[in-house]
Chains A and B, each alone.
Chain A
């Protein structure tokens, strides 16, 4: 197999940069194409790759399809990119695929919305995403100063907006993993990319469960089918092609606003579904998510939270919980990664599931709602969701459409992901499987609203140089 060229792949593919507590995501518009290409070419030397250590700070860069056009890329190579990336996230079709309807419709987005909407960075002007990471506030300030002046100093780019996640470790410190605003430990389960060396630590069932082909996340390597995912190219010398995609990937950014007060209210209101004891609220919340607040999976500990299992990721559903009596069939984590439950035969099911994995790099934004809050403080908070996949349709969009938003997931009838979904106005349904028969919680409301989003291309370093015209 081809050796993974880590030195040519941007570092975000391999790491969430946990040591970098501060992050800023900057949106730019190309003002001067020649200047922007020059800037990109110089930036290529500063970009954090997968081979270097994280150093004093980290820099990564990604572009939208409109951004590539604004840099002056010709229509022919532009048409070789993946269709969702070309079309963007706001078409009526993609709204249906992603469930971006009602309050989450792109017309209402704070950024990335269709041209003419109130978005501060509408999709026709959203060209470049610069991702900056630094260990603390002071380091971030100087990094920001330096990068901002390089980008805009000579008029190459126009700054549109900056997204600012909360400093790690997030709103509440809870050891290794971040805690998202609803209060759940997050980010436990990530695919392990073949060829990074991390797969050597896993064996047997754990390897089958988590190790995913390199080409699922980096273009230019065999994917889960043993094939190369179609990659964008530039016309090269002698009517050949220059592979622009090699060591690049597609990056999805979505700003997901969370209604924490609404979530807590709902949990209080419907906790009776799973009992009337003191733990009923925590248990009902866990049923919705599929993990307890600590992160411990219901599939492993169905009756009570267990911090010893907080980081546990060595579980499946087929053997211990085929009917959803521990972790409901429609729970968030069971939908987002159904593991060994997608086919009758477990090993095959894991293979099938792993054709739809994504690398998540989300960070929370906005201050946490105090535990004692009795009413909504109306402060915006949520998750800046970032994920990467080589095939947007088969990976990110599939998870969203066929697993999370699909009312028929796992033989169910009419319910969506209880956390991410947009329930109908009359309220959503959530079935808690149990003995002797299931309980249905009705009246679920919407807790997560999309506030912005876009598809980006995260080129390899050589790809950046090609785009800058320096190859």
Chain B
């Protein structure tokens, strides 16, 4: 099943921010047991969050969903089971047609029309439905408990093939877990990103080769081919020159600022406590951030291009479970708002310090290419050639990132006890029941237990 993202932005009524924020916080404080929104009862919801974000025309409520299947199917279900809580929340938003009026359709339209989706949506394990993730963790526990039984002590002196056989037989003998032996393949794109990559890249590459060959040979195609290549080269050179000019203009602005970034950040940092209300309460965390896109068309186009490239890399990367080497992100998205802001929402394992450290240590170039097109009053660190330096300035990058954060008022995780690595390990355990997939064969499969 495919995973989808929705980002519903709705204007908050003037004067309603405090009440809305208190309502969402009170639901969020006990989100697992909460019966009002009832998020933990929704079997297609991986992660959800609510936050209030600044906007050009006043504050907006942002509702983030990471779900199995389509947003419309999910929202229909949500409206059915949590009508009064949805009414309570959205009664603070302008133009909301309440469900209490008796007709679901206008409410659904209201939400779907205000869904701005995601420009880049990253899913650690595409194709893994919530149901599959939960069942496969149950399977892992079941097998571990089986191996830990005193009656199985003799297996410890047995060879790996025997252990594997014993586990498979035990699974087969238990009707409650027998499903694990049936094939439950992931979508084609998820299993064979390389094939898809080749299928997509081959025609483009062939076309480019044909043009280069035509430009080198005599014939009627020579002139247009050369013209094409010259145009591409000129456009690239122009874009690079434009980029350096924009970066030099940023440097100039930085030199002429009246208050240095450290002072700005120090003054702001007393706000940190409002993020820590729930930060690091469990093994996973959520991050909501928003930044203004720098003025001018150039930065806007550059940002869109960078996000498109990251989307392509994330979709077609043969190595799943990571984004730019970072292995702790379950779901993340970048969304450009109609009023030129960049929203970033992420659901990740471990602490903020670890997450931002990974940004700097592992993915500085990619993240610099994104956020160098944005600013806040701390300011993004000095960048050259779009990807160089930037996030490598650890202290300032972390200050920039912290400054851009908005409190997540309500956050829900369907599996707070599972890391990205756990989910993949569980998947490999399940697949390996039928046939160990690891290079190390059965021995490697057993190490997963």
Contacts and interface: CB of A to CB of B under 8 A. Distances in A.
Say if A and B assemble together. Answer: yes
Interface of A: 79-80, 83, 91-93, 96-97, 223, 225, 227-230, 323, 352, 355, 393-394, 397-398, 401-402, 406-408, 411, 413-414, 433, 435-440
A406 B163 contact: no
Contact of B283 (A227, A406, A437, A439): A406
A433 B360 CA distance: 32
24 contacts: A79-B267, A79-B269, A80-B266, A83-B269, A91-B273, A92-B276, A93-B280, A225-B393, A228-B395, A229-B395, A355-B357, A355-B361, A394-B357, A398-B357, A401-B351, A401-B354, A402-B354, A407-B283, A408-B283, A408-B419, A436-B159, A436-B446, A437-B163, A440-B148
A414 B281 contact: no
A184 to B, nearest CB: 28
Nearest to B163: A436
Max chain B CB contacts within 10 Å: which of A230, A402, A436, A440? A436
B255 interface: no
B156 interface: yes
B266 to A, nearest CB: 5
Contacts of A402: 350-351, 353-354
Interface string B384-427: 00000000111100000000000000000000010101100100
Contact of A408 (B163, B279, B281, B421): B421
B349 interface: yes
Contact of A227 (B269, B394, B446): B394
A408 B284 CA distance: 10
Given A79-B266, A436-B156, A93 B276 contact: yes
Contacts of B280: 93, 96-97, 401
Nearest to B270: A79
B312 interface: no
Contact of B395 (A80, A230, A437, A438): A230
Contacts of A408: 283, 349-350, 419, 421-422
Contact of B393 (A227, A407, A411, A435): A227
Contacts of A225: 360, 392-394
Contacts of A227: 393-395
A196 to B, nearest CB: 23
Interface residues of B, number: 42
Contacts of B421: 408, 411
Contacts of A414: 417
A230 B351 CA distance: 21
B272 interface: yes
A108 B351 CA distance: 26
Given A79-B266, A437-B449, A398 B349 contact: no
Contact of B353 (A80, A398, A438): A398
A93 B351 CA distance: 12
B324 interface: no
Given A230-B395, A413-B422, A394 B163 contact: no
Nearest to A410: B421
Max chain B CB contacts within 10 Å: which of A352, A393, A413, A439? A413
Contacts of B163: 436-437
A223 B398 CA distance: 15
Contacts of A230: 262, 395
Contacts of B158: 436
B446 A437 contact: yes
B218 interface: no
B430 to A, nearest CB: 15
Given A96-B280, A225-B392, A398-B353, A436 B160 contact: yes
Contacts of A96: 280-281
Contacts, number: 90
B253 interface: no
Contact of A411 (B160, B361, B425): B425
Contacts of B77: none
B357 A440 contact: no
A437 B349 contact: no
Contact of A436 (B354, B392, B393, B443): B443
A106 B353 CA distance: 23
B272 A83 contact: yes
Nearest first, the 5 closest Cβ-Cβ pairs linking A and B are: A93-B276, A408-B419, A437-B446, A402-B354, A411-B421
A198 to B, nearest CB: 25
Nearest to B449: A437
A438 B281 contact: no
Contacts of B279: 93
B144 interface: yes
Contacts of B353: 393-394, 397-398, 401-402
B85 interface: no
Nearest to B328: A408
B417 to A, nearest CB: 7
Interface string B342-362: 000000011101100100110
Given A225-B360, A398-B351, A411-B425, 20 more contacts: A79-B267, A80-B262, A80-B266, A91-B273, A223-B394, A225-B393, A227-B394, A394-B394, A397-B353, A398-B357, A402-B351, A402-B354, A406-B283, A411-B421, A413-B422, A414-B417, A436-B163, A436-B443, A437-B447, A438-B449
Max chain A CB contacts within 10 Å: which of B148, B279, B361? B361
Contacts of B449: 437-438
Contact of A398 (B354, B360, B447): B354
Contacts of B281: 96
Nearest to A398: B353
Nearest to B260: A241
A435 B160 CA distance: 9
Contacts of A433: 447
Contacts of B148: 440
A64 B357 CA distance: 27
A406 B421 CA distance: 13
Nearest to A402: B354
B126 to A, nearest CB: 20
Contacts of A439: 156
Max chain A CB contacts within 10 Å: which of B147, B281, B353? B353
Contacts of B144: 440
A93 B360 CA distance: 23
A270 to B, nearest CB: 13
Nearest to B267: A79
A440 B446 CA distance: 14
A80 B270 CA distance: 11
A446 B278 CA distance: 25
Nearest to A413: B422
Contacts of A393: 353
Contacts of B276: 91-93
A93 B276 CA distance: 6
Nearest to A344: B325
Interface in B245-295: 262, 266-267, 269-270, 272-273, 276, 279-281, 283
A91 B354 CA distance: 20
B284 to A, nearest CB: 9
Interface in B133-171: 144, 147-148, 155-156, 158-160, 163
Interface in B165-180: none
A352 B326 CA distance: 13
A102 B419 CA distance: 25
Nearest to A229: B395
Interface in B330-385: 349-351, 353-354, 357, 360-361
Max chain A CB contacts within 10 Å: which of B159, B163, B276, B392? B276
Contacts of B446: 436-437
Contacts of A411: 419, 421-422, 425
A330 to B, nearest CB: 14
B66 to A, nearest CB: 19
A181 B395 CA distance: 39
Nearest to A95: B280
A79 B422 CA distance: 41
A413 B141 CA distance: 10
Interface string B423-449: 001000000000000000001001101
